[in-house]
Chains A and B, each alone.
Chain A
Amino acid sequence: MSKILDAKIPSGPLADKWDRHEMECPLVAPANRRKFTVIVVGTGLAGGGAAATLGELGYNVLNFCVQDTPRRAHSVAAQGGINASKNYQNDGDSVERLFYDTVKGGDYRSREANVYRLAQLSMGIIDQCVAMGVPFAREYGGTLANRSFGGVQVSRTFYARGQTGQQLLLGVYSALSRQIAAGTVKMFPRHEMLDLVIVDGKARGIVCRDLVTGEMKRYAADAVVLATGGYSPVFYLSTNAVNCSATSIWRAYKRGALFANPCYTQIHPTAIPQLGDYQSKLTLMSESLRNDGRMWVPKAPGDKRRPADIPEAERDYFLERRYPAFGNLVPRDIAARASKVECDAGKGVGNTGFAVYLDFADAIKRLGRDVVADRYGNLFTMYEEIIADDPYHTPMMIYPAPHYTMGGLWVDYNLESTIPGLFVAGEANFSDHGANRLGASALMQGCADGYFVVPRVVAGYLARGGLGKVTTDHEAFGAVEDEVRKRYDALLAVKGSRTVRDFHWDLGRVMWDKVGMSRDRAGLEQAIVRIRELREAFWHDVKVPGEAADFNKQLEMAGRVADFLELGELMAMDALAREESCGGHFRAEHHTPEGEARRDDENFMHVAAWEHKGDGQAPERHVEPLAYENIEVKTRSYK
């Protein structure tokens, strides 16, 4: 029976919900906090922020990450900035406006109450980060600097050169380091969570693999927080790090947590185009480049002249033409799709024809080379090293690339999944961005969840009581560990002929071609069949070298790819079921005469959350209706 999900949104006026909820959340007395153990998986802005803050409060925290140190969580790679409704620029920003922009940017598929809370918390994040020594960019007067980002008409993005994610993460890492020294947080680097342990219906622990020794380990706790990021590497080539995976959230899904909106993926418009099939990743060029860069293609299809030889009159600045109000700063989904439309019409540039220009000639003319270098120098250097071409003289070539996943585990207002005691934060949950995320909002969500929301809601959960003592000797731990062990032994036992990368690459091609920027019924149906075939082939023909009880990267990857091979199918099913176009989900069957996305609010203004029903069984689709009481639902327009 399909369920209607209850998000447990507090009653009362939107602006008061969080304050009232904080007041209503029961508390744990300081002396009792150390009696509670909380597992936090992930050390990015959400996970690390939550672990550090819970540690500060006095809880006993066990924090896990796959990286060799918490400072390398993938938040580190975010370039452009973090949004906050400070209105330091006096350009009309406010909590209301940030809330409105984010809901609109998400194409009216996000939860009002969550987004409003995010907008409210955004200001405290900046204050907190400044207090921790994050070196944000500043004006000569000593105040914080801002820049603009896509989809908004105010300057509310705080930044630290092109390394904002790194600086925010190092802030989190420093707070975490302090708690590790204080003994409140115990850190487990090079540990991969491979399954969730549920006792009496509540999340009570995890099973990990020590990535150095290969040993399987059990950890028990009173609550579990997953903050393991998104699943873009399901496309194989994405802007994500090579170790990003869906494994933690996918294992939780298979233990009963619902997976919401898996088809909502963000294809970022400005990445360095794919050059060949040897590639291991795509490199992002920050959205901030669109502040000063102009995107264009030749007007004539098949025009292979060098960019400098194409006169102004024969260039099509397609974003400026199609969206005069926002120009080059339209949201990511719009910009990415527009680029794809031009390339599909044969106007793409470069050897492959799958690239468009991002041109800084005007900006250099207007601002001078030094200013441009100051703003984007590190990105230009990166580009030059990869492409061996100088973007100060020749326009950059860019093409969309999988970047972020708005979908994730379903959580209620308390960031609690459908498994009691299992909280999900940051990109790993689905909660705040709807069908499309605006630039500089991922860092905002990670910090808000980590520093402010998780510590409060987890305390509320723990304070409500009813948690008996559970140790790792409990039979549930033994059973889960056995399953994990068998799965990994099975991977090694196949001893087939194709490598893990072969399968990952094939899956990525299917996902990109059929479940990528544009989707249609026939393609999605083919994708589902093809992914099932691939999965079948994987378990019969994969070749994983080495042993389980050793440092074994190929085995790690095999486990992750096995999960991607299941998740990919769910993404296609979700995309198939959502008979509308919204945000990053574009169904070729549903568009306006001008080619813009056409939503179906009547039938799809809801969150789709999938329930695992067992291997080989069809998952069940549940819905959480979305109500917009404070915002007028309109057709999204950036014209």
Chain B
Amino acid sequence: MSEMTIHLKIWRQARGAAKGNFETYTVEKVLPEMSFLETLDLLNEKLTRQGQQPVEFDSDCREGICGTCGLVIKGTAHGPNPKTTTCEVRMRHFRDGETITVEPFRAGPFPILKDLVVDRTAFDRIQQQGGFVSANTGSAPDGNAVPIPKIDADKAMDAASCIGCGACVAACPNASASLFVSAKISQLSYLPQGGPERGRRALLMIGQMDREGFGDCSNHGECEAVCPKEISIENIARMRREYFKGALGGHDRKAASGD
């Protein structure tokens, strides 16, 4: 229960402002069992009391499932530990007196709204292009009507556990969204329900990903390493297969172009 003093070098950027800059703040009485975001809370309490502007950052569930939080801490998206989101990072991983650089997720398609808060609605627009099964409410057959091999269901679940936090984009040297997009395409490609729309889905979602201005994937694999849900880059390979099949399949291509 030893108290630490932590220096935070944080990116500050006013809303709509073109330029931002780093400010360094000191937070005392940080406990090792505190979460990183609780340390930022503590800083904000201090700043508020001192009449300064608190640091804006996004967070919600604070247990690693909602995908709201996302900071680049010490040069790594979601901080130095694998398999965790920013809200799950604990201060015991830092040293007393350490200066920690805190930056927002940086990518052209993730414009900064204020300080450490970025706009990730590009992900929503990609999803809207085809990240679904077109099954209206009430049209479903019995849940056990189509057996799905456990291994496929498990693979689908591995991919589906994506929380849409955007760390893959943040960590990618090219700011590519491939891991995010591939997780959804891959999930639905493992399930028979996703079958009828698979080619069209891949073409449309990847088309939107490109229009949003994300970079191309160079297979560095940083995304997988920072992914809090350990989504594998094998999904990216699978996405490329789906895309190839979609691009060759004339029917799907027509559907994707809206003919």
Q: Which residues of A contact B (CB under 8 A)?
A: 49, 52-53, 56, 67-72, 74, 76-77, 86, 88, 124, 126-133, 135-144, 160-161, 163, 165-167, 170, 173-175, 177-178, 180-181, 187, 189, 212-213, 241-243, 275-276, 278-281, 283-284, 381-382, 385-386, 388, 451-452, 455, 497, 499, 501, 543, 545-546, 550-554
Contacts and interface: CB of A to CB of B under 8 A. Distances in A.
Given A72-B67, A278-B42, A212 B157 contact: no
Contact of A499 (B45, B52, B190): B45
Given A71-B127, A88-B144, 6 more contacts: A67-B68, A132-B140, A135-B191, A142-B147, A177-B132, A242-B60
B31 A278 contact: yes
Nearest to B30: A278
B42 A76 contact: no
Contacts of A386: 33, 88, 90
B164 interface: yes
Contact of B33 (A136, A281, A388, A554): A388
A133 B194 contact: yes
18 contacts: A67-B60, A68-B121, A69-B124, A77-B66, A127-B141, A130-B140, A133-B133, A136-B143, A138-B147, A144-B143, A173-B127, A275-B33, A276-B34, A499-B45, A543-B48, A545-B47, A551-B15, A554-B48
Contact of B133 (A77, A131, A180, A187): A131
Interface in B116-169: 117, 119-121, 123-124, 127-129, 131-144, 147-150, 153-154, 156-157, 160-161, 163-164
A276 B29 CA distance: 12
Given A68-B119, A386-B90, A551-B15, A141 B128 contact: no
Nearest to B192: A133
Contacts of B148: 138, 142
A432 B254 CA distance: 47
Contacts, number: 222
A384 to B, nearest CB: 11
B99 interface: no
A163 B161 contact: yes
Contacts of B84: 385
B37 to A, nearest CB: 7
A143 B92 CA distance: 44
Leading 4 A-B pairs by shortest Cβ distance: A142-B147, A174-B132, A131-B140, A127-B140
B54 A385 contact: no
A135 B160 contact: yes
B137 A455 contact: yes
B157 A551 contact: no
Contacts of B133: 131-133, 174
Interface string B154-196: 1011001101100000000000000000000001101101100
B187 A242 contact: no
B28 interface: no
Contacts of B37: 280
B138 A133 contact: no
B127 A177 contact: yes
A558 to B, nearest CB: 11
A78 to B, nearest CB: 9
Nearest to A551: B114
A313 B15 CA distance: 63
* Chain B, interface SS category: loop
B63 interface: yes
Contact of A281 (B48, B62, B160): B62
A499 B50 CA distance: 11
Contacts of B128: 177-178, 180-181
Interface of B: 15, 31, 33-35, 37-38, 41-42, 44-45, 47-49, 51-54, 56, 58-68, 81, 83-84, 88, 90, 92, 113-114, 117, 119-121, 123-124, 127-129, 131-144, 147-150, 153-154, 156-157, 160-161, 163-164, 187-188, 190-191, 193-194
A280 B140 contact: no
B137 A283 contact: no
Contacts of A76: 61, 65-67, 163
B187 A133 contact: yes
A93 to B, nearest CB: 14
Contacts of B31: 276, 278
A543 B142 CA distance: 56
A56 B59 contact: no
Contacts of B150: 138-140, 142
A52 B136 CA distance: 9
Nearest to B46: A499
Contact of B160 (A67, A170, A278, A554): A170
Contacts of B62: 241-242, 280-281, 283
B10 to A, nearest CB: 15
Contact of A77 (B53, B63, B138, B149): B63
Contact of A553 (B54, B92, B141): B54
A133 B127 contact: no
Contacts of B44: 554
A276 B59 contact: no
Contact of A74 (B66, B88, B149): B66
Contacts of A140: 149-150
A177 B157 CA distance: 20
B188 to A, nearest CB: 5
Given A71-B67, A74-B61, A501-B45, A382 B138 contact: no
B134 A143 contact: no
